[in-house]
Structure 1
Amino acid sequence: MKTKLFQTTSSWNNLVIRLLLAGVIFPHGAQKLFGWFGGYGFEGTMAYFTETVGLPWLLGFLVILLEALGSIVLLAGFATRILAAAYILLAIGIVTTSHLQYGFFMNWYGNQPGEGIEFFILWLGMSIALLLSGGGRYSADKYLSRVITEQAHSY
């Protein structure tokens, strides 16, 4: 089971997908956790999640950690499949609670009250690719898979 969880290919594609997904999710997490990039920081985000969206405190906290810290772990390629599964669930949750009612398109021209779902379709596609085939080249998962396989053969 451990071998399958960390198993991946030496694909450059997965490396690129992993780095780009981490790169687009991290700024959103940094907004929520640190208040960077015009975000509201931890307190403001938690107030929004619990009072406006209606999320339980623990779930809001996990969302912030998943976006801010999970993206850094994803960048390293550690537990890629687990993070990809979590990002799939997160994207579905974000779409259904906050974006579906605004249609497909992002709010490019500022003429709709919110953002559509097109960004999350890309997020989902990238997460599904990583869930199916792992972190790829230069990932911690690739190294761990090799170590686990070598240990299994040494017994």
Structure 2
Amino acid sequence: MPTRAEVQGGGPAQGPGGGAAPGFGAAAQGVGGAQDVGGAQGIGGVQDGGAAQGIGSDATTDPALDTEGISPSYAFASIPPAPTAPGDTGRLRRRDDRRGTLDLGLLLLRLVVGGTFIYHGLQKLTGWFHGPGLEGTRDMLENGGWSQADIGAAFLIVSELGGGILIVLGLATPLAAGAVLATIISAWFWKQGMVPGFQYKAGDSAVELESILAGAAAAIILTGPGRLSLDRNRGWATRPFLGSLAALVAAVAAAIGTWLWLHGGNPLTGVGPFN
């Protein structure tokens, strides 16, 4: 074991790594490296000129760890960004953007359904396209058993013409499609009540067209108008849910309430004003 005089006088002192420290150095040999002048050896590197070598090759000085005039340097390996998770919302949004021809199909459906109701609304309002006109519509409802023919005529014209225009534009679509659905259900009740029993394809009382239009209007409520519409920035345009279900239920309830208030009778048995 070296004496105190040997250490102070420049004698060799053994470091943990087995190397020899110079006689005039103030620091000891680190693990696994050689000491030059005036510094401590870090793990895995060689000290040159008074700073401690950290793990890695590039060193940056941390002032917070500065002690007695010595600024140790530490190198940190760069950490790559975390990979995108499978459930990332951005990825889901991109997947939702790939809608294919869905919006084009919804536009075609809206043009057909909305155009049909515009056609019938103009027939009732103006008499165009060999229609009955306003007075003819009122007389038709009165002869068909409606107790308030004026109210019924206004309801039909506003719902068919206004609702049809809004459906074509894709504006306020759940309300517009709900209005035409209530109208076509009322027409279904009226034609079905002319003859007892279910009349799907049987002459003037056939409800085939009304059934198709009712299904199409309900489909527009449930699917939304798509992105080729004025409602494209609304949630119901591409991802309808509770609001659209509420509009569908309200339309059916309005049709039933209107029938019971302005007409009455059971359309499935033909019992009512037609008998």
Tell me whether 1:138 sits opposite 2:138 in the alignment.
no
Matched with 1:149 is: none
User: 1:49–1:120: structure 2 CA closer, same or farther, 3 Å change rule?
Assistant: same
Matched with 2:253 is: none
Structure number with higher helix proportion: 1
Matched with 1:46 is: 138
Deviations 1:25-76 (A, max 9, x none): 2111111001011111112212222343315222320211111232112111
Q: 2:177–2:217: 8 Å Cα contact kept in structure 1?
A: yes
Q: Following the alignment from structure 1 to structure 2, what is the Cα–Cα distance between the partners of residues 76 and 50?
A: 33
Tell me whether 1:37 sits opposite 2:129 in the alignment.
yes
Could you tell me which of 19, 23, 34 is aligned with 2:115? 23
Matched with 2:191 is: 98
Which structure's CA Rg is the greater one? 2
Q: CA offset at residue 11 of structure 1?
A: 2.2
Matched with 1:63 is: 156
TM-score (norm 1): 0.74
Unaligned runs of 5+ in 1: 1-8, 107-111, 147-155
Q: Report sequence identity in percent.
A: 27
Q: Which SS does the other structure have where 1:42 is aligned?
A: helix
Worse-superposed segment, 45-54 or 83-92: 45-54
Could you tell me which of 70, 74, 80 is aligned with 2:173? 80
Q: 1:50–1:60: 8 Å Cα contact kept in structure 2?
A: no
Tell me whether 1:128 sits opposite 2:218 in the alignment.
yes
Between the two structures, name the one with larger relative contact order (CA 8 Å, sep ≥ 6). Answer: 1
Q: 1:79–1:141: 8 Å Cα contact kept in structure 2?
A: yes
Worse-superposed segment, 55-64 or 116-125: 55-64
Q: Which SS does the other structure have where 1:46 is aligned?
A: helix
Q: 1:77–1:140: 8 Å Cα contact kept in structure 2?
A: yes
Q: Following the alignment from structure 2 to structure 1, what is the Cα–Cα distance between the partners of residues 144 and 200?
A: 23
Q: Following the alignment from structure 2 to structure 1, what is the Cα–Cα distance between the partners of residues 129 and 123?
A: 6
CA RMSD of aligned residues (A): 2.2
Matched with 1:118 is: 208
Unaligned runs of 5+ in 2: 1-98, 236-275
In the alignment of these two chains, the number of paired residues is 131
